[in-house]
Each structure stands twice: as structure tokens, then as C-alpha cells.
Amino acid sequence: MSDTTQMFEALMDRALVAGRGARQIAAPNPWVGAVLVTEDGSEVFVGATEAPGERHAEIVALEAAGERARGGTLVVTLEPCSHHGRTAPCCDAIEAAGVARVVVALSDPDPKVDGEGISRLRAAGIDVVEGIRQHEAAEQLAAYLHHRRTGRPLVVLKLAATLDGRTSAPDGTSKWITGPEARQDVQRLRADSDAIAVGAGTIRADDPELTARTDPPPHRQPLRVVLGEIPDGARVLPARSLTGPLPEMLDTLGAEGILQLLVEGGATVAHAFVDAGLVDRFVVYLAPGIMGGDDGAPLFRGAGSATLDDLWRGRFVSVVRLGEDLRLEVAG
């Protein structure tokens, strides 16, 4: 690996950190990070996407640098935009600032961009380097990329279970299967989601609020969605009640700018999403406990695979220890 590539990767790592911090602020726009280094490498300026209608990450970094941007290198986690939306094109600002090189992790699949930004930069005589930390940027922007490619939110199914796959005891008790560290991680997952969905049965049984309780508080609370009729006086109110086929529900939410939907329903709702092939990510919190017996609620309730040939298989994205529990993330 060349010294130049190592430098680009180090700068992109800083851009990724900046982009991660903009997750809740920027949506439904992409949470992009940008780093501008001066021509002599002596100064670095960092930017992150602001709230919708405000500055993109590239503009934040360019404005912080001012005249020092001329001849410099701009490192950005997603292809700069080339079209007029709520803000002017970033490509125009990059060219006007006299930036010599732009390093991009990913091209933007949004039909309004889709390679046009990179083409515009190259046509202006700016050197463009692509693919630096591509995998890491794709993971960070997974919800945005999925939404732009499909028109639907990324569906994340959250589950918590014992080692033998039980989500509650025979008497219905389920609090708490996992420890405080895992439960706090769930709050962060909620805060990073644009909507949370549960079945009406969960509302009747547990009467949850479905809010994200993080410290500091999240920038905004996710939309709360109940599949079915919401009982009067439920703590989840005001919430959205949706009925009908799940694919149509995802189309509706996607059209409204929901990029990530966190499904927290019980075994029946979980099975419905899995059976329909609508789950993009599984986040399973696994506790080191065994319930035993034939009773108790399973992870999924419904007809399963008849043979190994029908088994759903994915790939492990990450395995993280949280206190005494494990957080398993699996993608299709």
C-alpha cells in the first residue's frame, strides 16, 4: 500500500467519524462526512451534513478552509451532488474553491446524482479518486443507499432472546432478558431509526412508549407505527396506525422519506416480515441464559422451513459483546 493511499484512508476515517455524528441530524439526506486538507498538508478542516435545507458536508469543510482550500484535497464519504435541490450543487462550490483533488468513498445511487457529480468534477479538471474505505462507507450509509435503490426503508428486525431462542417465559414475563448495556444499545438503535413498528398485540400486552431514550436525548424521535388498531389510552399515542399488506406499507413509508424502519414486534410480527422476505438486517441480542422446556415464546411464530434447502441464510455483519450479552447483526 502506497503512502498516498494510507493518507487517503486516514483522512477518510476522519470523514466517516464526522458522518456518523450527523446520522440523526441529516436524514432523510445522507449523513456525509468531509475532510479538506490544504495543499501543503499543514491544515485539516472537517465538515458534516447539517439538517435538511442547510449545508452539505463539503460546503461546511470548504467554508471553514476559505482560501486555504485552493490546491487542496477534499475527502468525502459520498459522491458530491451536481444538481440544484434545497441547496446549490456541491460540485460548483468545489470547483470554485480551486480544490485540486477529491477522494470519494462511494458513488451516490440517487437518480439525481448517480455518477454525474464525479463526471462533473473530472470535466472541470479535478483529480477524482474513488473507492477509499468503500465498504465502511457503505455500512454507515446502508439505510440511505437502500432507500435510494429501492424506494423503501431498510427494514431492521430487532430481537432479544435466551440461548435457546426464547423471548419470554411461559407466564409471559420478558423483562429483562438482556442486561442494561444491551438495552441501552437498543435505545441508540431506535434513535438511529426513522420509524419503529410493532404489532397491536405488543401494544395491548406491554403498552410501550416506543421512544428513544438516550443521553444526550436524540435529535428527533422516530415515527411510531402500530400494525393494527391502537387501543384507546395507549402510551404510544400519538402514533400511526397502518393496516394492509406489508410491502405496501413499506412503499408508503419510503415515499414519506423513512430511510430505516426498526421492527420490534413479537414473534408473529417478526415471522410476518421474515416470511414475506422483507427483512434486510437482523439485530439479535443474545443473553447467556437457558429457559428450557417446551413453553415460552419463540423468536418466530409461524410455519418455518421444511428442509435445509429452504433455510434463510445471511452473513454476519458484526458480533459485539455488550456487558454479559452479545449483539449479533446479520444481513441478507
In 70-153, where do the E strands start and end? 73-76, 101-104, 127-130
Q: Where are any strands of DSSP class E within 10-161?
A: 33-37, 44-48, 73-76, 101-104, 127-130, 154-161
Kindly name the residue from 58, 79, 116, 329 that is annotated as catalytic: 58
Cα–Cα distances (Å) from 136 to 40, 122, 155, 228, 286, in that order, read: 27, 24, 19, 37, 25
Question: What is the rounded distance in angstroms from the CA atom of residue 52 to the CA atom of residue 26?
Answer: 6
Rg of the chain on CA atoms, in Å: 22
Please name the residue that has the C-alpha cell 462511494: 106
Sequence-distant (6+) residues with CB within 8 A of 88 are none
Can 67 be counted among the known catalytic residues? no
Residue type, 25: I
Q: How are strands ordered across the β-sheet holding 101-104?
A: 44-48, 33-37, 73-76, 101-104, 127-130
Residues designated catalytic: 58
